[in-house]
Amino acid sequence: MSLPRIFRSATFRFAGLYLLFFTISVGLLAVFLFFHVRDSLEDDARNQISNEFNLLLFEFHEDGLDELLEETEERIEKNSTPNRLLYMVQSPSGRVIFDRIDPVSPPYGWQYITSGRSALFYFEELSNGYVLGVGKDLAALTTAERAIQNVFLWGAVVVLLIGALGGFLLSRRLLAIVDAITRTAKSISDGHLNERIPLQNTGDEFDELGKTLNQMLDRIELLVANIRQVSTGIAHDLRTPLARLRGRLETMRQNPSLPADDVDSAIAEVDAILQTFAALLRLAELETGTLKAGFGSVALKDLVEQMVEAYGPIAEDSGKQLVLEDARSVSIAGDKNLLQQLLANLLENALEHGGSTVQVSLQLKGKTAYLEVADNGPGIPAEARSQVIKPFQKGETSHGTGLGLALVVAIVQLHGGTLELADNHPGLLCRATFPIFEV
């Protein structure tokens, strides 16, 4: 299992989406917590500042400015921690004492000081024109903010890593189950109808799915077996009396008192019925797809050359030309006999209905082999082309069973390919394509 494949898997996408929502909710939580903590820290600071300010204001009202200054100095000396409250007194001339900050001007009240240091202050003008300010450094607040940010940043990284790992493990397990089902389905469509999806016997949804699919496959296998049995039954029950009839006719032929020509034409009629019969049974056999199980590697080039050699003299005898244009060395997975029959049908059609020249070519483009049989005869009108490939549909001049092209289509489809009828300007171009599988 390659890594890119797992990233393309549906489960991984689900895991990713889930991870995204999870990360967003964690982020929202972080933002909420961040603002909540900041607000409450700031509220604390404001309360502290207000209380202190009121105490000092009380001092001032009771004992005057000197007492205020003394008390303030005492407080600064008593508490020298960096986290202590900040104090300032500004004279009416604008001079600032204690914790030096830039002079302030009205309106007073709550202010954020940013120049020099970052702090929150409360200012108020005293009755003598002096301004008293109490503040708190915001560094502590910023440290708390940063701590929260860090916790959530690292938290997000860990969440993402664990989520991705979880997604990977989850999708690998699910992919393994889906892969097993895909492999089985592929094997079945290749003709191995007895394949079944392996079950884990855990009783979970996947096991249920596997069980249900297996039941369906049992049913399909039974139906295919029934079809085969019915065809075999038809073959046996109808061919045997026909065989007897043919035998009787052959015996009658030895009798000199009977007209030999009539008996011969009766034998020919029986043979024609049997031929249609054989073609129908072959068609049914092809459509079950079970023949795929016997596929081997077929060298198409050799096969095409042999067929052209086999049919060349027939073309010449009827004054036509059979030309092998281009034959690339191509091997496909297939059944040699069926491919021979396919080409035989195409060549016979072209020689019977086509013009003076029949061209055969075998080309390779990418991973597809193109087998073309083209004639320069009257061709088939575009609207009739899809009709002639159906069973028992034939051109007006055809004397065949009407199953020739239907057989060709069935054989091509069994090999995973396509058949296309096109205009050869003039004439008919039959193009069969076959996928080439790497061995």
Partner 1 sequence: MKLLLVEDDKATAEFIIQGLKEQGHTTDHAANGLDGLMMAQDGHYDVLILDRMLPRLDGLTLLKTLRDAEDHTPAIILSAMGSIDDRVTGLGAGAEDYLVKPFAFAELYARICSLARRPPIRQIETILRVGDLQMDLIKRQVTRAGKTIDLQPTEFKLLEFLLRHRGEVVTRTMLLEGVWDFHFDPKTNIVETHISRLRGKVDKDFPTSLIQTVRGAGYKIDVSA
Give dist(CA 410, CA 342) in Å, integer.
9
**CB distance 411 to 342 below 8 Å:** yes
Return the residues of window 27-86 that contact partner 1 according to CB under 8 A: none
274 binds partner 1 per the rule CB under 8 A: yes
Q: Considering beta carbons, is residue 171 or 401 the nearer one to partner 1?
A: 401
Question: Given candidates 19, 37, 140, 281, which one binds partner 1 under the rule CB under 8 A?
Answer: 281
Out of 248, 258, 265, 356, the only residue in the binding site for partner 1 (CB under 8 A) is 248
Output the smallest distance, CB 378 to partner 1, in A: 19
Report the alpha-carbon distance of residue 95 to residue 91 in Å, rounded. Answer: 5
Pick between residue 335 and residue 375 the one whose CB is nearest to partner 1: 335
Q: Which of 39, 204, 250, 269 binds partner 1 (CB under 8 A)?
A: 250
Q: Can you say how many angstroms the Cα of residue 338 is from the centroid of all Cα atoms in its chain?
A: 34
The amino acid sitting at 294 is G
Closest distance to partner 1 from the beta carbon of 202 (Å)? 38
Q: Give the C-alpha separation, 173 to 154, whole Å.
A: 29
Report the residue from 64, 129, 198, 247 that binds partner 1 according to the rule CB under 8 A: 247
Burial (CB < 10 A; 0-12, 13-18, 19+), residue 209, is middle
Interatomic CA distance for residues 287 and 411, integer angstroms = 9
User: What is the torsional sign of CA 202, 203, 207, 213?
Assistant: positive
Of the ranges 51-59, 72-80, 164-172, 236-244, which one interacts with partner 1 (CB under 8 A)?
236-244
Q: Minimum distance between the CB of residue 424 and partner 1, rounded to whole angstroms?
A: 21
Among the candidate windows 115-123, 138-146, 275-283, 364-372, which touches partner 1 by CB under 8 A?
275-283
Q: Is 306 in the site for partner 1 (CB under 8 A)?
A: yes
**290 Cβ contact list (under 8 Å, min separation 6):** 191, 193, 224
Sign of the C-alpha dihedral computed for residues 87, 93, 95 and 97 taken in this order: negative
- Give the residue, chosen from 147, 294, 297, 323, that forms a contact with partner 1 under the rule CB under 8 A: 294
- Residue 94 token pair: 């604008």
Bridge-partner residues for 360, per DSSP? 324, 373
- Cβ proximity to partner 1: between 200 and 321 the closer is 321
| Comparison of 203 and 247: residue with beta carbon closer to partner 1 | 247
Whole-number Å distance between alpha carbons of 132 and 22: 50
Query: In whole angstroms, how large is the CA radius of gyration of the chain?
Result: 47
Contacts of 156 (CB under 8 A, 6+ apart): 23, 26, 27, 30
* Number of amino acids touching partner 1 (CB under 8 A): 44
> Which one of 282, 292, 353, 415 is in contact with partner 1 (CB under 8 A)?
282
Listed ranges 122-130, 194-202, 217-225, 228-236: which one lies at the site for partner 1 (CB under 8 A): 228-236
Is residue 244 a contact residue for partner 1 (CB under 8 A)? Answer: yes
Residue 140 or 281: which CB sits closer to partner 1? 281
Q: Report which residue type is found at 282.
A: R
Amino acid in position 75: R
Does 26 bind partner 1 (CB under 8 A)? Our answer is no
Span interacting with partner 1, options 138-146, 276-284, 324-332, 429-437, rule CB under 8 A: 276-284
Residue listed under structure tokens 């002096």: 130
Q: Is 311 in the site for partner 1 (CB under 8 A)?
A: yes
Stretch that binds partner 1, among 61-69, 87-95, 164-172, 249-257 (CB under 8 A): 249-257
Quick one: which of 262, 309, 325, 326 contacts partner 1 (CB under 8 A)?
309
The DSSP secondary structure of 85-154, one letter per residue, reads EEEEEE-TTS-EEES------SS-EEEEE-SSS-EEEEEEE-TTS-EEEEEEESHHHHHHHHHHHHHHHH
Q: How far is the CB of 274 from partner 1 (least distance, A)?
A: 6
Residues 367-426 that bind partner 1 (CB under 8 A): 400
Closest to partner 1 by CB, 71 vs 348, is 348
State how far the Cα of 215 lies from the Cα of 213, in Å rounded to an integer: 5
Which residues in 314-373 contact partner 1 (CB under 8 A)? 314, 317, 335-338, 340-341, 344, 348, 351-352
Distance, CA of 345 to CA of 357 (rounded, Å): 16
Which residues contact partner 1 (rule: CB under 8 A)?
231-232, 235-236, 239-240, 242-248, 250-251, 253, 270, 274-275, 278, 281-282, 285, 290-291, 294, 306, 309-311, 313-314, 317, 335-338, 340-341, 344, 348, 351-352, 400
